[in-house]
Amino acid sequence: MRKKIVAGNWKMNLGLDEAMNLASELKVKIDNQLDTGEAGVGGELPEVIFFPPYVYLSRMLDIFHNYEGVGVGAQNVHHNEHGAHTGEVSALMLRSLGANYSLVGHSERRQQFGEDDELLAAKIATALKNGIKPVYCCGEQLPERESDKHFQVVEDQLKRGLFWLDETQLKNVIIAYEPVWAIGTGRTATPDQAQEMHAHIRKLIMEKYSAEAAENMSILYGGSCNAKNAAELFAQPDVDGGLIGGASLKSDDFFRIIQSF
Ligand code: PEP
């Protein structure tokens, strides 16, 4: 059965004290939940993954060291293992620190840093080679949705960025569908829009790989997902959880999202 996942992308937010307070508050909530055995609305506990800024990774890994059901990852990873790349961080470094995941292809990286699918494919290759599981982000921009190109845009991103992997490699990948028009805008995709795209992604995986690969792939929704709308989104059959930006910065809100299954 595929994993349910709630991931928090802190982006470039929070000072060290704020970040550590947020992490400690969430750890207490998750500890309590595990102690009482009280899961979410549908009785399921998702895996939780934190994506803090690089500089806090080590501290987060100390807090959640060997903590089952909680992963820690980077928001980005370089496509080379090492070398003269001032300011960059490699998958080899992330793994040596104990991190398990990295976001790859977040729309802010695509838009602000010109990362294209070819580069993202190289990042995925290096991440997987070094034991880092990529969370590959895809999603259309508003004009693309308005001109009915959204399915094709996401299909192209998947084909170029991901579908060159073999099926064994694909097992270590998570997909996040994040319509760009919904990220940080307060304009969430409707549950039907999310479901429709997630089902499309799953169908593409089935056609390229197998029914088993499609069934086992965790596909997260991201884009203004919050404590109020998470349950309805997560109730969709092909939505396996969320990649949460703004609402992951408040412990109460993020914890309510964790409990939304
Ligand atoms: C994101 O940045 O991945 C994201 C989904 O942001 P937000 O939840 O703030 O829309």
Helix and strand totals (H; E) in the chain:
12, 8
pLDDT score at 149: 98
Rg (CA), the chain: 17
3-class SS shares of the chain: helix, strand, coil, % to 5: 45, 15, 40
DSSP letter at 82 equals S
- pLDDT tens-digit series, residues 78-97: 999 999 999 999 999 999 99
Cα separation, 26 vs 20, in Å, equals 10
Cβ 143 under 6 angstroms from ligand 1 = no
pLDDT per residue as tens digits for the range 212-226:
999 999 999 999 999
> Which residue out of 183, 221, 249 has the highest number of ligand 1 atoms within 8 Å of its CB and is therefore the one to mutate?
183
Identify whether the C-beta of residue 118 lies closer than 8 Å to the C-beta of residue 112. Answer: no
Is any ligand 1 atom within 6 A of the Cβ of residue 224?
Answer: yes
- pLDDT at res. 44: 66
Structure tokens at 104: 């790859």
Q: Which residues contact 181 (CB under 8 A, 6 or more apart)?
A: 140, 141, 142, 145, 187, 223
**CATH code for the domain of 148:** 3.20.20.70
Q: What pLDDT is attached to residue 33?
A: 80
Q: Is 131 left (phi over 0), alpha (psi -120 to 50) or beta?
A: left
Summarised one tens digit per residue, pLDDT across range 7-35 is 999 999 999 999 999 999 999 999 888 77
Strand partners, 47: 5
Domain of 172 in residue numbering reads as 5-258
Beta strands of 31-126 (E only): which ranges? 47-51, 70-74, 101-104
- For the chain, the domain total comes to 1
Q: CB neighbours of 113 closer than 8 A, spacing ≥ 6? A: none
Higher-pLDDT residue of 38, 66: 66
User: Which residue, 209, 203, 117, 211, is CA-closest to 156?
Assistant: 117
Cβ count near 14 (within 10 Å) = 17
Give the residue, out of 6, 9, 111, 138, with the most ligand 1 atoms within 8 A of its beta carbon, to mutate for a pocket test.
9
Give per-residue pLDDT as tens, 127-163: 999 999 999 999 999 999 999 999 999 999 999 999 9
Token match 């997260």: residue?
220
- Residue located nearest, by CA, to atom 7 of ligand 1: 245
